[in-house]
Structure 1
C-alpha cells in the first residue's frame, strides 16, 4: 500500500512538473514571437545607424575648426534599483567632463540626470546637456534606441564647429572607460 501511495505522489509531481515545463515553453514561444515581430524595426534602426556612421566617417562631413577635444558624451545610467552607486559614480565623472571646453553631455536615463544634478557643485561650468530616455526593460529598448538615433541624426545636422564625435562613457571592472562610437573607430565602411 505504501508503494502505491509513493507511486501516486510521484505521478502527481510528474504531472505538476510537466505543467510547469509547458508553461515555460509557452512563455519562451511568446517572447520569441515578440522578438520576431520587432526584427524589422531593429533592422531599420541598424541601417540608419550604419548610414550615420558612414556619413560621420567621411572627412568632408566633419566640421572645420571642430577640435579633437570637441565631443558628445553618451552616458547611460541605470533606470532600475539595486545598482548601488552606479549613477552617482557616473555623475561624478560628468563633472570632470563638463569642466572641459567643447563637451556636450547626453545623459541616458532620468535617474542619472537626477544624480548628476544633485552632485553638481554650485557655480560649476555649464556644458550643453541633453537628457535622453533610459531603458529599464526590454520592451522599452526599441523606442529608446529610436530616440538615441534621432539625437545622433540631429548631431549630424549641427552647424559647423559643433562637436560631431560621439563617445560612450561607461564603467566596468577596470573603472571608467571611454569608447568612440561615431564616427566608428577603424576604417570607414563602404
Structure 2
C-alpha cells in the first residue's frame, strides 16, 4: 500500500506556471518545473511509486511529459534544485490526456528506486517531446505568497539552467511503498 512521503495540497493553489517547450530549454521558455521535498515518514526506507502534480493544458499542445527524481543541491527551502543524472524516471504521460481544468496527474515509477527517511530530493516534470508554445502549453498549479507553506521550494528549467524560487511551491504529492528491512543474520 502506498504511503504519502511528502506533498503540498492543491487547496494552496494561487496561480499557474507554464511548461511551453521541449526539455532541455535553451530559451526563456520553461521546459521543466519541480519541487524540493523531504521524505517525511516514520519508517526508514520506501520504494518510490508515484508522483502527482496538478496540471492542465492550455490550447492544443501535443507531446509527452515525464517525471523524474533527482538528488538535491543548494539550500533546502530557498535555492534547492536538481543535480546530476535522474535517480528515477516515470513512463511518459500523453499531454492529450490532460484536461482544460487542473487535476492531479499521476506519474508512476517502475524503477524501484529506494528513498530514505528525512532525505531531501527534487521531483520534477518536464516536456519530453512535442509541439508547444505560449498559446499551446501545459500549466502547473503553484502556491505563492501566504499559500507557499511547504518547507521546500520550487525550481524550473530554462536558458540551459535550473532556477529556484523560495517564495513558490508546486502543488504535488510523492508516494512510496514501505521496504521491509532484511531479517537479522541468525548465524552471527
Question: Which bracket does the TM-score occupy, shorter chain normalised?
Answer: under 0.3
- Which protein has the bigger helix share? 1
Structure 2 length as normaliser, TM-score? 0.25
Compare relative contact order (CA 8 Å, sep 6+) and give the higher one, 1 or 2. 2
- Which protein has the bigger strand share? 2
